[in-house]
Structure 1
Amino acid sequence: MSDLPTLLAECTTVVDEIMDVILLSQTKDTEMRLFEAMRYSYTTGGKRLRPFLVTHSSALFSVDQRCAARVAAAVEFMHTYSLIHDDLPAMDNADIRRGKPSCHRQFDEATAILAGDALQALAFEVLTAPETHVDPAVRVELVRGLSQAAGVNGMCGGQMIDLLAERTGELNISKITRLQHLKTSKMFAFSSVAGSILGKGSHRSYMALHNFAQDFGLAFQIADDLLDVEGDRKKLCNSVGQNVVDGKATFVSVLGVERTRAHVSLLVDNAITQLEVFDEVADPLREAAHYFTNSIN
């Protein structure tokens, strides 16, 4: 068994360093406020779970660690962009992110919008660079995968469903599942299959990682909703109970706490089963699925 907290800390150190190198290499004096807003937003903490999935799926195929770290950085840039925009008054109207003022509160709304836009563009710039992979076909596949995970059939589509549901209050379990798959699982899935793309793995290995991440991503989001109901402010570093305040439909609001816990456990078991095609090198992925959902038990 691996020491998962240590692996997470190591991943955070490596990916944060890469992000700084990438961003600072582009710094121009005339845009310092924009660069400051971009860096502020990805250095306010966070689990770096998506980069962890990239680096440890890449390890399954002996991918060069520097290449994997660059893709992990691109994923975190994209994730950070989504958080900046989610926090805006037009979206979730959140003043706090990870225990600190959200980007639009620390700077201003216009700067926050531009910082998010710039981080999204930077993510794709990183993926298209030869330093990320020598094979142009691999780089194209990475761009395709990330754009699909983030676009209309991914994060953006999920956010649209979320916004519409706040107005109508019409979400059943099927629609909530689709929302969470789009908003969370699609990015988990790309992060996990990135290793197979970089390492030119088989279709079987690609699908195993994809299916693992789909179930893990959904379990992760549902567990987060449970913490929103039952957790404490210190653990979350955000406002506890915000979903309740906003009147959002979640698995917890529809199924209740105990049935939701059981559903998370089932999803985690299913996710781990998908990794049977891999040996012990995939143990960090297995452990992550347990680690990030066991706080609900």
Structure 2
Amino acid sequence: MMSAQEFKSVLKTEADAVENYLSTCLNNRNIPQRLQAAMEYSLLAGGKRLRPVLCLAVAAMLGAKKEHIMPFASAIECIHSYSLIHDDLPAMDDDDLRRGKPSNHKAFDEATAILAGDGLLTEAFVLMTETAQHISAPSVLSAVNTVAVAAGSGGMVGGQQLDMDFTGRDDVSLEELQTMHAMKTGALIRCSCECGAILGGASAEEQQCIRTYGANIGAAFQIVDDILDETGTEEELGKPVGSDLEQGKNTYPSMLGIEKSRELAQERVDTAIEQLTAFDGAEALFLRKLAQYIIDRVS
């Protein structure tokens, strides 16, 4: 068994390892100084590092060495950071704060923020392909394709478009909300797990279990974020509480209420954990604990 304290210690160790790698991954890339400063401002602004940690843990569960997977896992965090920079822009969510600091376009300027996001997105593919130094090229190619689909117009980017389309509307159905979040938030979390499976050499059956695990924790993560937007603190969120409702966004609590949203998140977590019954070892236990940790944030 792994206690809550042991889990948090392992999670911090894994996140710190990602942080250390991210702190140097843009060096020696011939990036203009101001642009690199803007890219690193957001990339190194903290956060849970959930996506790279998931990728690393899944791959390690299947026997891969984490140091071989680190460039790929960190690339996913670069994509996540780019999306946050662009989400905060005045033309999108128009947020002034991100993780308790001024948003990128506030710290620099709007044009530099756009370029910083573009830079992080493109550098991610440099990092992903570097994984081929240790992992077979066909596996890396398959994982890169998985990321591109998840982050693209049928995934995260398309989900952001739906989010803007749905903002201010009162006729959005629960099914539409779930579809939007599965694309905007869930796709990158799911593909983090799926890429760990691909790079770790999982069988087709194992990949399906891990894909389902990732999809369900991605859904739970978004539901919990919606709950915290109403019940959390500005310190926890890194932005003002209630910003989603203020902007007219549809959320799980606005549709279902807090308690039913908690129940739905727990159902998703339970389904995720069930997918790992065929796996054992420390990494599998960590992934089970991580799933439960997502819902524990609002318990």
TM-score, scaled to structure 1 = 0.96
Task: Report which stretch shifted further, 121-130 or 164-173.
Answer: 164-173
Q: Is the 8 A contact 2:194 2:207 kept in 1?
A: yes
Pairing 1:6–2:24 present: no
CA offsets 1:159-214 (integer angstroms, 9 cap, x no match)? 01000011544311000000111011111111111222112210111111100110
| Residue pairs, 1:66-77, within 5 angstroms | 66-77=67-78
Q: Give the corresponding residue for 1:175.
A: 176
Q: Is the 8 A contact 1:133 1:198 kept in 2?
A: no
Question: 1:258 offset after TM fit, Å?
Answer: 1.3
Q: Aligned partners of 1:98 and 1:284: how far apart in 2?
A: 25
Q: Give the corresponding residue for 2:83.
A: 82
Which ranges of 4 or more aligned residues in structure 1 deviate by more than 6 Å?
none
Q: Give the corresponding residue for 1:285.
A: 287
Match of 2:25 among 4, 22, 38: 22
Q: Give the corresponding residue for 2:227.
A: 226
Q: Give the corresponding residue for 2:147.
A: 146
Percent identity between the aligned chains? Answer: 38
TM-score, scaled to structure 2 = 0.95
Q: Give the corresponding residue for 1:109.
A: 110
Q: Aligned partners of 1:132 and 1:173: how far apart in 2?
A: 44
The letter of the residue matching 2:13 is E
Q: Aligned partners of 1:37 and 1:74: how far apart in 2?
A: 17
Question: 1:129 offset after TM fit, Å?
Answer: 2.0
Q: Aligned partners of 1:25 and 1:108: how far apart in 2?
A: 24
Q: Aligned partners of 1:151 and 1:77: how far apart in 2?
A: 14
Q: Aligned partners of 1:213 and 1:141: how far apart in 2?
A: 17
CA offsets 1:230-289 (integer angstroms, 9 cap, x no match)? 111122221110111011111111111111111111111111111111113301111111
Unmatched tracts of structure 2, length 5 or more: none
Question: 1:71 offset after TM fit, Å?
Answer: 1.3
Q: Aligned partners of 2:217 and 2:139: how far apart in 1?
A: 25
Q: Give the corresponding residue for 2:204.
A: 203
Pairing 1:38–2:49 present: no
| C-alpha RMSD over aligned residues | 1.3
Q: Aligned partners of 1:181 and 1:35: how far apart in 2?
A: 31
Q: Aligned partners of 1:43 and 1:145: how far apart in 2?
A: 25
Q: Give the corresponding residue for 1:295.
A: 297
Question: 1:15 offset after TM fit, Å?
Answer: 1.3
Question: 1:21 offset after TM fit, Å?
Answer: 2.4
In structure 2, the CA distance between the partners of 1:222 and 1:130, relative to structure 1 (3 Å rule), is: closer
Give secondary structure in 1 for the equivalent of 2:25.
helix
Q: Aligned partners of 1:251 and 1:153: how far apart in 2?
A: 22
